[in-house]
Amino acid sequence: GSTIGILGGGQLGRMLAIAAARLGFRVHVFEPSASPPAGDVAADVTCAAYDDTAALRQFASGCDVVTCEFENVPAKAAETLALSTVMRPSPGALEIAQDRVTEKRFLHNLGVATAPWAEVDSKADLLGALGRTGAPAILKTRRLGYDGKGQARVSGPADVDAAWHRIGGQPAIMEGFVPFTAELSVIAARGVSGEVVCFDPGSNVHRDGILHQTTVPSGLPKGALQDAVLVAGRILNALDYVGVMGVEMFYLAGKPVIVNEIAPRVHNSGHWTIEACVVDQFEQHIRAVAGWPLGDGQRHSDAVMTNLIGDEIDDWPRLAAEGGGLHIYGKAETRPGRKMGHVTRIGPRR
């Protein structure tokens, strides 16, 4: 049988490993930290740092294809791997999504709408950047932000110094605040042959910068959903992308959708597909990176997925009794703000 390598051993890696195992693949996980959630499922785990070239080479030599569960694989590590195995998605796609400025430039060149933005290399750029985006705005680190970390709100010029300090004085991007009606995301897959399959866009509610709930159907106008899916398809095609990608968007009534960010991997807002689709996002990703034909992304049920953050996971016995699909990630430690599990409730498709 073939071996699929997964970079990253968090909950996304764990759910990818489950899907891969179900399709008959052997899974080898590469993860710098000890006892990762995916380690319970994978046949093999390499615990090494991304600058450990020897470990990367050995990992690659044992894998027929290597994919990732997160976008921040260092470019050098991805290039090392690409020398001796197939990387899907490609290192180039990861590189674009790793940096919010590169990502925004890429979207701009594609003609995809984004929030107004300006690059901030140093403190001296802050006021000029705010002048370009207008207030209110959000200052975000260019790299390594997730779950709203590395972001600071800016209501006006008086806030910029405090915001710069809050994000640790790093290269950043100033983004105009989008007064969205709703947030939605498209979970899209592209196969080796270039076929694209999208799941039904879900509407997302965030709390404190962290995804709280995804609802499908989203209740947004049909035209907006078609627009969203077409935009996602253009993004995947432009990157010659292979695998599943999460495209996060803002919807403003009566306007074309605005892309917030792209995640070159399976996505938290696609977890509902496990219960509500015959082929879920994890299986779809494994199919794509293995060079298989993509599955049918049709949804047979309506779904609401709710994240269990921090000690919300302690409520699992009640949730288990209530019905719905319960997922517990098996993390060694519960911490505030940490994604510990999720629950998906489904109902007949309306």
For the annotated binding site for ATP, the residues are 100, 140, 145-151, 175-178, 183, 206, 260-261
Q: Return d(Cα 137, Cα 154) in angstroms, integer.
A: 5
DSSP, collapsed to helix, strand or coil, labels residue 116 as coil
Q: Do 139 and 167 meet the contact criterion of CB atoms below 8 Å apart?
A: yes
Q: What minimum distance in Å lies between the beta carbon of 115 and ligand ATP?
A: 4
Residue 331 in tokens: 């993390």
Binds 201: which of Mg ion, ligand ATP, none (CB < 5-8 Å by kind): none
Binds 147: which of Mg ion, ligand ATP, none (CB < 5-8 Å by kind): ligand ATP
Compare residues 32 and 136 and give the one whose CB is closer to ligand ATP: 136
Q: Mask 190-229, x = binds Mg ion (CB under 5 A)? A: ----------------------------------------
Q: What minimum distance in Å lies between the beta carbon of 130 and ligand ATP?
A: 13
Compare residues 191 and 264 and give the one whose CB is closer to Mg ion: 264
CA distances from 80 to 35, 55, 68, 77, 91 (A): 25, 11, 14, 5, 10
Residue 258 in tokens: 């605005």
10 Å CB burial of residue 116 (0-12, 13-18, 19+) is: middle
Residue 186 in tokens: 């498209």
If one counts every other C-beta atom within 10 angstroms of the C-beta of residue 221, the result is 12
Q: What minimum distance in Å lies between the beta carbon of 152 and ligand ATP?
A: 11
Q: What minimum distance in Å lies between the beta carbon of 182 and ligand ATP?
A: 10
Region from 216-224, 227-235, 256-264, 311-319 binding Mg ion, contact rule CB under 5 A? 256-264
Summarize as ranges the residues that interact with Mg ion (CB under 5 A).
Answer: 248, 261
